[in-house]
Amino acid sequence: MDRREHWEQVYSSKPSDRLGWYKPRLQTSLDWITALAPDPGEPIIDVGGGASTLVDDLLDRGYTDITVLDLAGPALDRIKTRLGERRSAVTWLCGDITEIELEENAFQLWHDRAVFHFLTEGEDRKEYINVLNQALMLNGHLIIATFGLDAPPKCSGLPVVRYEPETLHNELGDNFILAETFFEDHVTPSGVRQKFIFCRFIKRA
């Protein structure tokens, strides 16, 4: 089973509030985004938006240039159904972040909660970073949340790469300045505790 098939099966077989990464509100992400992008017209992309409620909360706060990207069509369909008529205010992209082509300098803020750590192959991480460097504006903000070193070695049945801020920074390269870190315990709907790290970077080149 390839990556797309896996995630389509996951989203087709479980309700959103039973998925391991589910939270009713992504408060840490929301707080950082609203602080870093006070202008609601700034272009934002949520990579691996899944079926999260982040886009709902951003729309509630008046953001007008939101792109949600996910590999699994059923995940995007859930958000669109939930949003109803408001779905037309969002740009939807269904594709693999390691393969998709995004416009150059398209986004001021890039948000990724729990996509990058699933890229266990170095070549996939390299392709992700190439797309990131292409699409994020100079001095744009990058928010990435991954499993920390004390987190489980797998999520949703797949292996993950666990990071600390320094190793994540090393992976991304010298184009990015590590500006802020935050550690968060996420408790899954089944009661498993996962250690997340949130890192904010600034693109400098």
Average pLDDT over residues 177-193: 86
How far the first Cα of the chain sits from its last, in Å, is 37
CATH superfamily of 3-13+23-203: Vaccinia Virus protein VP39 (3.40.50.150)
* CA dist., res. 145 & res. 111, Å (int): 8
Q: Which helix (H) or strand (E) holds 200?
A: strand 193-203
- pLDDT tens-digit readout, 97-120: 999 999 999 999 999 999 999 999
CA distance 1 to 41: 39
Query: 64 pLDDT band (50/70/90 cuts)?
Result: very high
Listed by start position, the domains of the chain span: 3-13+23-203
Give the pLDDT score at 189. Answer: 66
pLDDT per residue as tens digits for the range 18-59? 666 667 789 999 999 999 999 999 999 999 998 899 999 999
Q: Which two tokens stand for residue 198?
A: 């949130």
The model's pTM: 0.93
What was the pLDDT predicted at 18? 67
